[in-house]
Amino acid sequence: MNALTFEQKLFWSLYRIRRVEEEIVRVYPQDKIQSPVHLSIGQEAISVAVCEALQPDDIVFGSYRCHALYLAKGGDLNAMIAELYGKATGCAKGKAGSMHLIDAPHGVMGASAVVATTIPQAVGYAYALKVQGRRAVVVSFFGDGAVEEGVFHESLNFAALKHVPILFVCENNELAIHSRIEARQSWKNICEVARLYRLPTERFEEMDVFRIHARAREAIDEIRAGRSGPVFFECLCCRWKEHVGPGDDFTAGYRSRAEAEPWIAADQVQRLRNMLDAETRRRLESAVEDEIRAAFAFAERSPFPDAAELCTDLFKGA
């Protein structure tokens, strides 16, 4: 939205993402959404903080938990909801679903359901920008589970060697589906791994949208100016919902609600809401609710893809 203060813009973006996903939670049991959903509720401040430091021609790559990233970077909401519904007006023509959102005109490259696979794509894109002499910056978002894939290490090594313009952002919710980080990784924090490749690193142990944004802006400005190569952020966070789906999972046996309560108490949506006067809150929230209603209505009335679409947009050999 235009003509907003910085705090108002942050609140609008945070609230918009939260309410979109809460509406997905409400609609999901009706079987209208045609794909699994990996919700960003509780983690959305990371995407908002970083994307607010980017310029329109900067590029982001993400993982299957990509709703927040897609919206924070400016992805079209109508096209997103239509994609979840499997409709022809979706951002991938209804063929990809929640885990593969894309909006190339807004710099959102296609997300992937396979862990770590967009990290080398992000590095390759950043290397191409350097070769072409462009000043755009790439940001690669991924979870802590991606660190255990070999391509993560190969990508960081190449990025460091070639001094490519990329910011790596690890959204560390300390869970790979139901596996806790201490059962999977021998290091105490992921920044230790990134430093092996001589990357400057920063670890954010608390959810603070202002601090993450300030450091992201500084890092991105340095990268854009050519004074820095790749930079690595590790942002600790907590997903409030189950790994995949709209429900809670605190009775599943691998974590407790008590572990999540400090993160919920530090909710950045509520923090920003408390910073605004009542009339500003009402105006911004009303605009978001109107947009969400329109997006879901758009998805409802959009057509499903024609059967002929099964044979288009395919990659095949000669």
The structural domain count of the chain equals 1
288's tokens? 């978001």
* Share above pLDDT 70 across residues of the chain, in percent, rounded to a whole number: 99
Calculate the average pLDDT of the chain. 96
Q: Is residue 317 part of a domain?
A: no
Query: Which H or E run includes 84?
Result: helix 77-84
pLDDT at 211: 98
Q: Is residue 310 part of a domain?
A: no
Q: Which domain holds residue 80?
A: 6-305
Is the pLDDT at 314 greater than 90? The verdict is: no
Show Cβ contacts of residue 32 under 8 Å, excluding neighbours closer than 6 positions.
85, 300
Is the pLDDT at 218 greater than 70? The verdict is: yes
C-alpha to C-alpha distance for 95 and 313, rounded to whole angstroms:
10
What's the number of CA atoms in the CB half-sphere (13 Å) around residue 22? 12
Average pLDDT over residues 22-49: 97
3's tokens? 């003509």
pTM of the model: 0.96
pLDDT band at residue 317, thresholds of 50, 70 and 90? low
Average pLDDT over residues 256-280: 97
Q: Is residue 261 part of a domain?
A: yes
pLDDT band at residue 318, thresholds of 50, 70 and 90? low
**C-beta of residue 63 within 8 angstroms of C-beta of residue 146:** yes
- What CATH number is given to the structural domain containing 282? 3.40.50.970
User: pLDDT, tens digit, for every residue of 66-119?
Assistant: 999 999 999 999 999 999 999 999 999 999 999 999 999 999 998 999 999 999
Q: Is residue 312 part of a domain?
A: no
